[in-house]
Amino acid sequence: MKIPKEVQSIVQKIRENGFEAYIVGGCVRDFLRGVEPNDWDITTKATPKEIQKIFPKSFYKNKFLTVTVQTKSKNPKLKEIEVTTYRLEAKYTDKRHPDEVRFAKTLKDDLKRRDFTVNAMAIDIFPENKQRKKNKKEKSNLKIIDLFSGKEDLEKKIIKTVGRPEQRFSEDALRMMRAVRFAVTLNEGWQIEKETAEAIKKNSFWIGAISKERIRDEFLKIIMSERAAKGIELLRQLSLLKYIIPEIEEGYQVSQNKHHIYDCYEHYLKSLEYAAKRNFNKYVRLAALFHDIGKPRVKQGEGPEATFYNHEIVGAKMTAQILNRLRFPKKDIEKITKLVRYHLFYYNPGEVGESSVRRLVKNVGLENIEELLQVRMADRIGSGVPKAEPYKLRHLKYLIEKINRTPISVKTLKVNGNDVMNILNIPPSPKIGQVLDILLGYVLADPQKNKKELLKKEIIKLGKLSDDELKELAQKSREERKKIEQKRDDMTKKKYWVT
């Protein structure tokens, strides 16, 4: 992998203006492990004002001493590069808001305030003289600055705080959740180092001091990772989950009944795991995690005969509460809540009729049906049932498409009964319908014919036919239409592999 030329040229330009500048943070970590970074960050000794002077088109978000420099790159990840002035760890009296952000004088100080060793490395480009640069071998122009053994931890796949974990978490409690996030997003096999993990367990309570928005963003990153379920379990093991979504923990070791091999909590995680494995979207992942969350509260009886009546209704309410609390957008809350509310829908080809399916579609919304079926698959697989009912679900999709496709009807014609009556100067009679049926036949054979002027000419021609001729043509046209309808249905069936 290469360092993008846009990034190199910004570093170079800052240096030409007499300031130190380095590539820093998560992108160095990703560069070293051969993964394309989400964003490239640059840190410099220049102050925001000085950076802006070098890049007149940049803009400055006051809060974090960060200047956003625009590039001409077409890659969205390179369009805007953040250049941040060296800064010191700020004092967090309340464990959430820095009291003030202060400049640092050295790169070392800036690296020291970063959260984890693997996130605290920098890249020095062009450390050698300009002559060497001519030999274009990029590697020779790079030096990794690694003051806290980040490289070693990267090789060992370890998340470890820079400095004493307890102190670092007391400065900013969100770092505890970030540790979990990195442990599941970086790659298979990453672990939180023992002392760091112990410190999280001990200080987990402080996550409550963090703004819900920041928690939501980290939570979503965990949910969107391939190892989302592992992330939730890690949050639980580190005592963070009970301060974030205690409702999930309510299901811990709550057994189900004879239809289930997993307890509630295990089932939530297995469902989420499947949703993540299939790379389903955030709505499906969250609905998979929450679909049975009402169960512990409505459980009646114990053992194989236990029941969970109305758990989908209670669960939908709890889901809305959780997502509201975490400040999810209203639109997302509505959607995920619906997926939870209707996840129990029953369908069996031949047994469940069109009217029930229409009702389901009306309740869930046509736009959410695909996701509802995905939640159902996650639910089934997450129960340890080997099959996700593929045939039934495909048949349901077929029926929904059938119900919702626009019918073949004379209403699609660009002329109507009134036009026929006016043009032929005749009163209402079965003749009008016959003419329209014939015209529809023309249009089905050639959609280009559905133009008002063309159809008007055809009406005049048809007006010259005898009653019997017209009747016969209309009959033929209707039969033809039936065949087309049948063919359309056959094609829909084929599309969903159902009979």
- Strand 41-44 relative to strand 122-125: parallel, antiparallel, unpaired? unpaired
The one among 43, 66, 85, 119 contacting ligand ATP by CB under 6 A: 119
The residue (of 39 and 389) whose beta carbon lies closer to ligand ATP is 39
The one among 87, 160, 175, 338 contacting ligand ATP by CB under 6 A: 175
- Closest approach, Cβ 32 to ligand ATP, in A, equals 12
Residue 269 and residue 227 in contact, taking contact as beta carbons nearer than 8 Å: no
Residue where the block lists tokens 């605290």: 120
Residue 200 and residue 238 in contact, taking contact as beta carbons nearer than 8 Å: yes
| Listed ranges 52-60, 114-122, 453-461, 476-484: which one lies at the site for ligand ATP (CB under 6 A) | 114-122
The one among 31, 81, 98, 115 contacting ligand ATP by CB under 6 A: 115
Positions in 5-64 near ligand ATP (CB under 6 A): 25-26, 38-39
Binding-site size, ligand ATP (CB under 6 A)? 11
* Contacted by 115, from Mg ion, ligand ATP, none: CB < 5 to 8 Å by type: ligand ATP
Rounded distance between C-alpha atoms, residue 395 and residue 427, angstroms: 46
Side-chain-side CA neighbours of 329 within 13 Å: the count stands at 7
Phi, psi of 251 (to 5 degrees): -90, 0
Phi, psi of 161 (to 5 degrees): -70, 155
Closest CA to 110 of 84, 138, 136: 84
Rounded distance between C-alpha atoms, residue 392 and residue 213, angstroms: 40
Cα Rg of the chain (Å, integer): 32
- Strand 41-44 relative to strand 80-85: parallel, antiparallel, unpaired? parallel
* Contacted by 114, from ligand ATP, Mg ion, none: CB < 5 to 8 Å by type: ligand ATP
* Contacted by 119, from ligand ATP, Mg ion, none: CB < 5 to 8 Å by type: ligand ATP
- Closest approach, Cβ 120 to ligand ATP, in A, equals 6
Residue 100 and residue 63 in contact, taking contact as beta carbons nearer than 8 Å: no
The residue (of 39 and 124) whose beta carbon lies closer to Mg ion is 39
The residue (of 120 and 444) whose beta carbon lies closer to ligand ATP is 120
Residue 282 and residue 220 in contact, taking contact as beta carbons nearer than 8 Å: yes
The residue (of 175 and 380) whose beta carbon lies closer to ligand ATP is 175
Positions in 296-315 near Mg ion (CB under 5 A): none
144, two tokens: 């990794």
Residue 227 in contact with ligand ATP, rule: CB under 6 A: no
Secondary structure element (H or E) that encloses residue 237, with its range: helix 228-237
Residue 172 in contact with ligand ATP, rule: CB under 6 A: yes
- Closest approach, Cβ 39 to Mg ion, in A, equals 5
- Return the number of other C-beta atoms located less than 10 Å from residue 330's C-beta: 9
End-to-end Cα distance, the chain: 51
* Contacted by 175, from ligand ATP, Mg ion, none: CB < 5 to 8 Å by type: ligand ATP
Positions in 18-77 near Mg ion (CB under 5 A): 26, 38-39
The residue (of 25 and 382) whose beta carbon lies closer to ligand ATP is 25
Q: Which parts of this chain interact with Mg ion (CB under 5 A)? A: 26, 38-39
Q: Which parts of this chain interact with ligand ATP (CB under 6 A)? A: 25-26, 38-39, 114-115, 119-120, 172, 174-175
